Structure 1
């Protein structure tokens, strides 16, 4: 199985592909409406919930994963939102909007753009005047370990992460720092969903691969980054 199918299976029980509770997602999306663009939308859950909360809103989601886009389209149909949204298969970093949008979502996708600052810059190009940018990024509490630097990327502290946005000319109008309970719930759901799926399969390569990926992810989390990894979701406006 490729990584896209593995990710789709792993997110079955936690459709928001980030360590936020349902209540936190509602808080982040509060008051946002109009037209949305979700860069690296995965299974589309952020965009789907945004449109459910704002009946007049419309949106586009972009992702490189075929299983994720297929899931997002099916969910849009099932939830009666298909007439107000579209999901496109493609690289989010190469997407060009035909016109500016009111809200850009870029949660957990900074690796696609080469870091936090490039993500903010690229996402901002899609925004209309006065629009909102929602960006979610991993943060690190303490000295970055060699394992984390190699496997999780060049993570910054919370203060440093916010400073990147401020230095680029943005203001923080809302934020959510994921709690330990949210972080744990996400990781247990990721590894548990993949493990449960594998155990329900007949013996074969896919089953063994899924079990191995889940086992190694679980070990990596518990041994190397559970105590120091965090996640912040920022709602930004230019200013």
Structure 2
């Protein structure tokens, strides 16, 4: 694929299907538990850190640590933090979260990052929610606030829905099972909600918008044009003719107990 595709933050506000209203709810939930000066919230798999920065804006004495493998996203988030006057209270690190996590924190945001504690994505194994929740619980004390979000099946998946993903119907669990796994990991759910279809449509089309931008600014006979068209078609068909309405995203607002 060409190197000059626009980065995801060009077309997406968040690296998950997340509306402004839902993001505000999650940021306020975490911020409400960060009243002590210097309290530390870590965002595991932060992308460009938008939700973390909004949480810090709502908790003016708190500190933030964001961890992600994507150096370009981290660089964008660092620049955004400086532009918003938050640079002195947040650090965004490009690297393996397991190598950079502190031993203890005051709050956690972890959205779409359970694979950090499970099998490599290339192995196409079921998502290890339990391992992720246990690792997060080990970071916090009772009463700490955690926002945990990850993929679920919104309804029983069909073969057409699983094919563009790993092809496994057991890759994800239903929402009810995820809630029970959180309880088993010693969390008490405060609120549980799921991304709606509008949030998913905005995310999926924003995720693939880079292909449209590229095709609109390069000649049709460019050496990379067919590869971009093929990638755009695969993304489009995988979503609209495959997992749309089946592949969901759950958001759990949790208290450690």
CA distance in 2, matches of 1:215, 1:50: 36
Q: Which segment drifts farther, 101-110 or 198-207? A: 198-207
Offset at 1:140?
A: 0.8
- Matches for 1:76-155 after TM superposition, within 5 Å: 76-97=81-102, 100-114=104-118, 115-146=128-159, 148=162, 151=165, 154-155=171-172
**Is the helix fraction higher in 1 or 2?**
1
Q: Hey, what's the Cα distance between the residues in 1 that align with 2:226 and 2:8?
A: 15
2:26 corresponding residue in structure 1 = 28
How many equivalent pairs are there?
236
State the TM-score, normalizing by the size of structure 2.
0.82
* Equivalence for 2:65: 60
Distance (whole Å) between structure 1 residues aligned to residue 226 and residue 57 of structure 2 = 38
Q: Is the 8 A contact 1:36 1:58 kept in 2?
A: yes
Matched, 1:185 2:202: yes
The answer to whether the 8 Å contact 1:66/1:89 transfers is yes
Unaligned runs of 5+ in 2: 35-39, 119-127
Deviation, structure 1 residue 2 = 8.9
Moved beyond 6 Å, runs of 4+: none
Structure-1-length-normalised TM-score: 0.87
Q: State the shift of 1:197 in Å.
A: 4.1
Q: Does structure 1 conserve the Cα–Cα contact (< 8 Å) formed by 2:27 and 2:52?
A: no
Root-mean-square deviation over aligned CA pairs:
2.5
Q: Distance in 2 between matches of 1:138 and 1:192?
A: 22
C-alpha spacing 1:2/1:231, structure 2 compared with 1 (3 Å): farther
